[in-house]
Structure formats: structure tokens, C-alpha cells
Amino acid sequence: MEKSLESIHDHFPLTEAELRTYSALAFAYVGDCVFDLVIRTMVLTRGNNRPNRYHKEVTRIVNAKAQTDLLNKIKPHLSEEEMTIFRRGRNAKTISAAKNQSLHDYRIATGLEALIGYLYLAGRMERIMELIRLGLEEMEEEK
């Protein structure tokens, strides 16, 4: 069986040299979508439900504050390369302002999305899943 997001990446591969030319905001652009799709898939596979229930659960996780919490949980597990990508995303100057979120959380979320986008474009979907799983598990343990 083909692995969905990995198979998309396989159709549009980038070399290491090409990958290094992309900005942190380009990584965050695709990382936002990848993170959203992973979380939506996770929520949907927990059981058949009404769309508004899915939406409530997804928005509980896919927002700047929750992404900041998730990043704080996975931060000790990031490699130096991953921390560098995260910092590039966090420090990138964005045109849009945070909506209903603090600027601090918005920047952290952008850094997380940049990391996810980078890993996705590098073909490292398993690492994305490992980090998200780890972060969500640690967040659930705190409840």
C-alpha cells in the first residue's frame, strides 16, 4: 500500500541543494497544510462523527497556542538541524499578523510549521509522525 503524503512527495522530489534554497516561510506554507492534514486524519480515524465535532477537536490542536505547547514538548527531542529550521521559521518576518493569538505563540507555531514543511519536503514523513505523536502524548499526560 502506498503511503499517502510520502507518495505525493515522491512525485515532486527536491534535491538537498534545492531544498536549501527555500525560505522558512515556504516551509511553513506547506507545513501548515501537512500538520492540518495529519491532525484531521487522526481525529477522523478516532471514529465516525459529525463534521462540527471533527472541527472542534481539530481546532483544539491546530491553533498557535496548542502548537506552541506541542513544540515545547518535542523541543528536547529535536536534532540541531531541526532546531535550526524551527528557529528560522520562528524568526521569519511574516506579513500577516496573528489572529486571536499572541504574537509569541504565532511565531512559535510558524517555526513548528516550518519544521514540519522542511521534514515533509525532505521526505521524512516518519519523523513528522514521530514528533507529532510524541508531542500529543505528552500533552495528554499533562491533562
CB 128 within 8 A of CB 119: yes
Q: How far is residue 92's CA from residue 86's CA, in Å, rounded to a whole number?
A: 10
- What the block records as the C-alpha cell of 33 is 497544510
Residue 69 is among the residues annotated as catalytic for this protein: no
Look-up of cell digits 515533509 = 120
Q: Which of 10, 32, 36, 105 is catalytic?
A: 32
What is the spatial distance between Cα 80 and Cα 84, in angstroms, rounded to a whole number? 6
User: Where in the sequence numbering do the catalytic residues fall?
Assistant: 32
